[in-house]
């Protein structure tokens, strides 16, 4: 059985926020993703609001009819917003000020009480809770103990080991193989705990296949590489349209 794909559209909002302009609309992007076969839409409401804004969550909740997954840090503010917006899933992620992107998984094993309290509040609000964690048995056990219904295994280390020289030389290939093994074992363990298993971060058209072959993984959250591809595949058409508009003006 194939896994579901949630498209993370944070970086559509990144382009919009670069100009504080109305376009590109994240709602329109979500509908295009759904139309193209995405099984769900994922967005990350960051504490610094660098891309997705609170209002986007409310708009997406109205227009997304497939599945809406909202990533957020375990803070009072975010839990309040999640219980108000009521997405189909809340993914708890670590967040550090100034980071370029999420750096690794949530350390649920070191902060069991804090994570459990956050999960409890979300579940009391009737929400489905996923924890974004490293593929580490301690974190899987902690996610289970915290009452999460799903884990999302962080594929960042695997993804990095598939880039450039690291992918070509034996050291990098061994790293990728070791990390894939860790992901496979983590997926099996999480499924044994009765957790749903998702995966994501840094996945690309080149490196997704081997992770997608892991039977226990039933959901992927993929963003940057899909939006990157969209910019390039759409660029020629966008130039043709603008060229035509200018040409037509003096026709």
**Closer residue to ligand PXP, CB minimum distance, 7 or 180:** 7
Q: How far is the CB of 216 from ligand PXP (least distance, A)?
A: 17
Name which position in 9, 67, 119, 132 contacts ligand PXP (CB under 6 A).
Answer: 132
Q: How far is the CB of 170 from ligand PXP (least distance, A)?
A: 26
CA distances from 81 to 11, 55, 117, 162 (A): 21, 11, 16, 36
Residue 189 and residue 140 in contact, taking contact as beta carbons nearer than 8 Å: yes
Name which position in 3, 8, 13, 81 contacts ligand PXP (CB under 6 A).
Answer: 8
Catalytic residue among 11, 34, 51, 71: 71
Catalytic residue among 179, 201, 216, 219: 201
Q: How far is the CB of 100 from ligand PXP (least distance, A)?
A: 11
**Closer residue to ligand PXP, CB minimum distance, 229 or 245:** 229
- Does 207 interact with ligand PXP (rule: CB under 6 A)? no
Take residue 107 and report the two structure tokens written for it.
């350390």
Stretch that binds ligand PXP, among 23-31, 205-213, 218-226, 234-242 (CB under 6 A): 218-226
Catalytic residue among 44, 51, 144, 196: 44
CB contact set of 104 (below 8 Å; sequence gap of 6+): 94, 134, 154, 156
CB contact set of 51 (below 8 Å; sequence gap of 6+): 10, 11, 13, 14, 16, 17, 44
Q: How far is the CB of 159 from ligand PXP (least distance, A)?
A: 7
Residue 137 and residue 189 in contact, taking contact as beta carbons nearer than 8 Å: yes
Name the helix (H) or strand (E) containing 8: strand 4-8
Q: Is the dihedral of CA 56, 57, 63, 68 positive or negative?
A: positive
The Cβ of residue 178 has, within 10 Å, a number of other Cβ atoms equal to: 13
- Whether residue 11 lies in the annotated active site: no
Name which position in 56, 95, 136, 152 contacts ligand PXP (CB under 6 A).
Answer: 152
Map residue 104 onto helix, strand or coil.
coil
Catalytic residues: 44, 71, 201
Q: Which residues bind ligand PXP (CB under 6 A)?
A: 8, 10, 44, 71, 91, 93, 101-102, 132, 152, 200-203, 221-225
């Amino acid at each position: 059985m194939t896994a579901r794909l949630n498209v993370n559209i944070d970086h559509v909002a990144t382009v919009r926020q670069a100009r504080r302009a109305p376009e590109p609309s994240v709602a329109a992007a979500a509908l295009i993703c759904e139309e193209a076969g995405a099984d769900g839409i994922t967005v990350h409401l960051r504490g610094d609001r660098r891309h997705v804004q609170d209002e986007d969550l409310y708009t997406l909740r109205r227009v997304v009819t497939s599945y809406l997954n909202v990533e957020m840090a375990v803070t009072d503010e975010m839990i309040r917003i999640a219980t108000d917006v009521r997405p189909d899933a809340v993914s708890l992620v670590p967040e550090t000020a100034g980071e370029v992107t999420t750096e690794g998984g949530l350390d649920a094993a070191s902060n069991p009480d804090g994570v459990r309290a956050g999960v409890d509040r979300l579940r009391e609000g009737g929400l489905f809770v996923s924890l974004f964690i490293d593929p580490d048995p301690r974190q899987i056990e902690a996610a289970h103990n915290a009452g999460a219904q799903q884990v999302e295994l962080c594929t960042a280390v695997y993804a990095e080991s598939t880039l450039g020289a690291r992918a070509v030389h034996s050291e990098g290939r061994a790293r990728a193989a070791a990390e894939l093994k860790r992901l496979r074992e983590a997926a099996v363990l999480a499924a044994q705990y009765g957790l749903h298993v998702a995966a994501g971060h840094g996945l690309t058209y080149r490196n997704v296949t081997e992770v997608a072959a892991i039977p226990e993984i039933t959901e992927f959250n993929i963003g940057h590489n899909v939006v990157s591809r969209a910019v390039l595949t759409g660029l020629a058409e966008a130039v043709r349209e603008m060229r035509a508009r200018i040409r037509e003006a003096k026709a």
